[in-house]
Amino acid sequence: LIVLCGTFTKPSQADSATLCVCVCVCVCVFPALNTCLLSLQVKHSDATLTQRVPEILFPWRSVVVRGDGTLRRVKRDWVIPPINVPENSRGQFPEELVRIRSDRDNNRLLRYSVTGPGADQPPTSIFIISPISGQLSVTKPLDREHISNFHLRAHAVDLNGNQVENPIDIVINVIDQNDNRPEFTHTIFNGSVPEGSKPGSFVMTVTSVDKDDPKTANGMLRYKILSQNPQSPSSNMFTINNKTGDIITVAAGLDREKVTQYTLIIQATDMEGNPTYGLSNTATTVIRITDVNDNPPEFTTDTFFGEVHENRVNVIVANLTVTDKDQPHTSAWSAVYRIIAGDPTGRFSIPTDHTTNEGLLTVVKPIDFELTRSFMLTVEAENEVPLARGIHLPRQSTATVSVRILDVNESPEFSPNPKSIKLEEGLPAGSLLTTFTAQDPDRFLRQTVRYSKMYDPANWLEIDPVNGRISTIAILDRESPYVKNNLYNVTFMASDNGIPPASGTGTLQMYLLDINDNAPHVFPPEVEMCEKPDPNAINITASDPDLTPNAGPFAFELANRPSDVRRNWTLNRINGEYAQLRLRIGSLASGIYEVPIMITDSGNLPMSNTSYLRVKVCQCDHHGDCVDMERIIAAGLGTGTIIAILICIIILLVLVLLFVMWMKRRDKERQAKQLLIDPEDDVRDNILKYDEEGGGEEDQDYDLSQLQQPDALEPECIKVGIRRLDERPLHHDHQYPIRSAAPHPGDIGDFIHEGLKAADNDPTAPPYDSLLVFDYEGSGSDAGSLSSLHSSSSCGDQDYDYLGDWGPRFRKLADLYGGGDD
């Protein structure tokens, strides 16, 4: 305690001494009141914070009174009150905060240190302590919005590193300063309110945040409206709750049709809205006035007109137009039309065109001009949603529509249609059946109706074109394939002579009654039987196209002829529909047997018929199934299938033959091309090689006039080149010696010398040892002629000595033309 009192070296030492005495008395006399030292120390530190650096003493002993009256010292840690440091300090750094020391540093050297975030933990080096004096300092300005407080621990150790005091917890609070402006959560706030809303209606809420301490005035915000645009119908249509930011209406008169939206500038200020010390910020609020159905649709005119031809449906008669001031393409703008008078039978409807909001008056049921020639409709227009409270439909929401019906030439109509009659089949040709007539709906027009037949698949009937009488032209047969369920349908057409003509159709349904006009036949017509049948009986029945009672029951009987029928077979009646054919003998040879059976039906006039039952007798396996070749053939391919297969084979052979012929033709074309053009030559060079060796025994009939060039050079020039066949030579043709067909071998040398001499004296001969034939490209080429090697118009001025520089092949030319007289 003496050390604690002696540490106060700054002003107010008298007060400090007094404090120390009080502390000493409290500790010595009243150990239970040891906590008073803490309160006194804190109060004194707060009072002298701006005057001097306070000092924290490590407490380690307290006086405790034993039960026997003796005193004993015990260690007891203090709880140090927090140290408050304002943020954004502009003082000199490091700035001293507090001094920490132990009363044991009087007799030994101690070292002090602090640990924790802000000291030796991130962010490091914000707080430092003098290891000798224990002076705790801050090294930089603090930011409360970054870290609001620091928790450090102070340590005291000796020079050997041994702990001499228990660590003390130090809490440093960063005191907030008003260094942050309010920030709105959005730059632009969007809200809406229905038009016609009453004052006090909630619109929206704007929010702003301040990073400063919300428990202080630095973070307490207040809102207000700076401006409103437009200022119609009042400059104060809205107000804002200065604490919550709720925007509400304060005046009536919101009308979307006049003002669609309002723009408000909202200001938020901290320091509880103090304009002098508070910081402020602004944001924009856009309030959209939403539409309500406060404007009913109104027709653009009182009366609409339209016209439509009779008997037409799904035709637009008139377009009904309305105006609605509400927001387009909303339920408050979309119109719904209904007919309230003038259409008792529901022949019209009015759907809405959702793009234009027009009503489309449409005919949905046929209208007969002969019955009604005009309509006067009363139409009303409403919106899809009801009108707002207090709004009623005006007179302009009702209009009149005058519709005129136009007459057209209508088709004659058969009545009844279809027409049904009953009659027996078998009526002969020329029998009158009925009269089938049509009426012309255009009763105010005098028109003639004519009849004709459109569809009569069996061609049994005819109709009189004038009076519509229908008669037969063939015998009616109920068993015809054209009769379905005893019904036969014929279609007739009636046409008038209007402009343009119109026609209608009618159907005559004839129900044909059956008569006994068909004899029965055995069924099935063909059966199989084994050579030694077991059992040896076959069940048969009869087929009769007629209906009951003109069909069964049937009477079955074997015919008397041939005589072996009754000898080999017996026929027993099972019932009125079936009979059993049984073999009298034990076996039959394989083959086909025809058994005549006479069958009689039960008609009023019975009809009998003898039909033949084909019995195929064959060898059978142990299952009783035929195994002979005829059975196999019968189960094989049919004639049509075999013909189809043969046709496919023939087509395939023809295709193969055509392909072979095409391949041969292509090979011939390739060979012809190879004969015309050598593959080694490039035709783009415009030089064709023919491999004309010349000079042989077979090459004696040359036309040497081909070796002359065209008449493009001067006459006195020595010609070197080739001439076309259709050109006239400039000089006379030189006569070369002609060798006989079979010369003596000794004449070959003389012939060669004569030919060489003639070639040397021939001015048109090329300077080569053999004849070469080239193509002539024609005259007038910009590139010049390849048939001449001269380079000037005068051959006397030409110097051929340069040919010797072109290689061995051109030295001969140089010797011939550049060697002088030699």
Question: From CA 397, how far away is CA 320, in angstroms rounded?
Answer: 11
Given the structure tokens 């060079």, which residue do they identify?
A: 685
3-class DSSP state for residue 467? coil
SS3 content of the chain, % helix, strand, coil (to 5): 15, 30, 50
Question: From CA 816, how far away is CA 221, in angstroms rounded?
Answer: 120
For 607-620, write each residue's pLDDT tens digit: 888 888 888 888 88
The whole-chain average pLDDT of the chain stands at 79
More confident residue, 60 or 333: 333
Contact between 523 and 556 (Cβ < 8 Å): no
- DSSP 8-class letter at 281: E
For 233-253, write each residue's pLDDT tens digit: 999 999 999 999 999 999 999
Number of H helices, E strands in the chain: 8, 46
Q: Which amino acid is present at 429?
A: A
pLDDT band of residue 774 (cuts 50, 70, 90) is low
Given the structure tokens 């080569």, which residue do they identify?
A: 768
Which residues, in sequence order, are CB contacts of 351 under 8 Å at separation 6+?
359, 360, 362
Q: Has residue 80 got a pLDDT over 60?
A: yes
For 419-437, write each residue's pLDDT tens digit: 999 988 888 898 999 999 9
pLDDT attached to residue 782:
56
Alpha helices in 778-818 (DSSP H): 808-818
Neighbours of 414 (CB within 10 A): 22
pLDDT attached to residue 600:
85
135 phi, psi to nearest 5 deg: -80, 120
Q: Has residue 158 got a pLDDT over 80?
A: yes
pLDDT attached to residue 720:
41
For 548-575, write each residue's pLDDT tens digit: 888 878 888 888 878 778 878 888 888 8
**Which region among 447-456, 521-530, 727-736, 811-820 has the lowest average model confidence (pLDDT)?**
727-736
pLDDT band of residue 23 (cuts 50, 70, 90) is very low
Question: From CA 387, how far away is CA 364, in angstroms rounded?
Answer: 30
Cα torsion 147, 153, 156, 160 to 10°: value is -90
Cα torsion 678, 683, 687, 693 to 10°: value is 0
- CB-based burial label for 719 (10 Å; 0-12, 13-18, 19+): buried
Question: From CA 801, how far away is CA 648, in angstroms rounded?
Answer: 80
Q: Has residue 729 got a pLDDT over 70?
A: no
For 642-687, write each residue's pLDDT tens digit: 888 999 999 999 999 999 999 999 888 887 766 555 555 554 445 5
Question: From CA 812, how far away is CA 803, in angstroms rounded?
Answer: 9
pLDDT attached to residue 12:
36
State the helix-helix crossing angle for 36-47 and 13-29, rounded to 10 degrees: 170
Question: From CA 512, how far away is CA 426, in angstroms rounded?
Answer: 9
3-class DSSP state for residue 819? coil
Contact between 456 and 495 (Cβ < 8 Å): no
CA 494 to chain centre: 53
**Structure tokens that stand for 206 in this block:** 């704007």
| Cα distances (angstroms) measured from residue 732 to each of 115, 699, 704 | 131, 22, 11
Contact between 817 and 719 (Cβ < 8 Å): no
pLDDT attached to residue 58:
58
**Which region among 166-175, 322-331, 718-727, 783-792 has the lowest average model confidence (pLDDT)?**
718-727
pLDDT band of residue 773 (cuts 50, 70, 90) is low
3-class DSSP state for residue 563? helix
pLDDT attached to residue 783:
53
Range 326-349 burial, b when 16+ CB lie within 10 A, else e: bbeebebbbbbbebeeebeeebbb
Question: From CA 478, how far away is CA 460, in angstroms rounded?
Answer: 12
Question: From CA 103, how far away is CA 100, in angstroms rounded?
Answer: 10
User: DSSP letters along 219-265, please?
Assistant: G--EEEEEEEES--S-S-SEEE-TTT-EEEE-SS---TTT--EEEEE
- The full 3-state SS of 516-546, as one line of letters, equals CCCCCEEECCEEEEECCCCCCEEEEEEECCC
Question: From CA 368, how far away is CA 582, in angstroms rounded?
Answer: 75
Neighbours of 549 (CB within 10 A): 13
Contact between 293 and 386 (Cβ < 8 Å): yes
- CB-based burial label for 684 (10 Å; 0-12, 13-18, 19+): exposed
| Cα distances (angstroms) measured from residue 666 to each of 655, 660, 670, 677 | 16, 10, 6, 17
Question: From CA 465, how far away is CA 471, in angstroms rounded?
Answer: 12
For 242-287, write each residue's pLDDT tens digit: 999 999 999 999 999 999 999 999 999 999 999 899 999 999 999 9
Contact between 354 and 333 (Cβ < 8 Å): no
Contact between 734 and 718 (Cβ < 8 Å): no
Contact between 437 and 469 (Cβ < 8 Å): no
pLDDT band of residue 718 (cuts 50, 70, 90) is very low
Q: In what order do the strands lie in the sheet with 578-583?
A: 521-523, 537-543, 578-583, 569-573
pLDDT attached to residue 793:
47
pLDDT attached to residue 26:
35
- DSSP 8-class letter at 51: T
pLDDT attached to residue 678:
53
- The full 3-state SS of 580-604, as one line of letters, equals EEEECCCCCCCEEEEEEEEEECCCC
Average pLDDT over residues 167-193: 93
Contact between 183 and 208 (Cβ < 8 Å): yes
Average pLDDT over residues 469-485: 90
Cα torsion 411, 414, 418, 422 to 10°: value is -150
User: DSSP letters along 42-75, please?
Assistant: HHHHHHTTTTS--EEEE---EEEE-TTS-EEEE-
Question: What pTM was computed for the model?
Answer: 0.45
For 105-153, write each residue's pLDDT tens digit: 888 889 999 999 999 999 999 999 999 989 999 999 999 989 999 999 9
**Structure tokens that stand for 230 in this block:** 């437009």
Given the structure tokens 């009939």, which residue do they identify?
A: 701
pLDDT attached to residue 115:
94
Contact between 616 and 608 (Cβ < 8 Å): no
pLDDT attached to residue 711:
47
Q: Which amino acid is present at 479?
A: E
Average pLDDT over residues 13-41: 34
pLDDT attached to residue 517:
80
pLDDT attached to residue 60:
45
Question: From CA 774, how far away is CA 758, in angstroms rounded?
Answer: 22
What share of the chain in percent tops pLDDT 90? 40
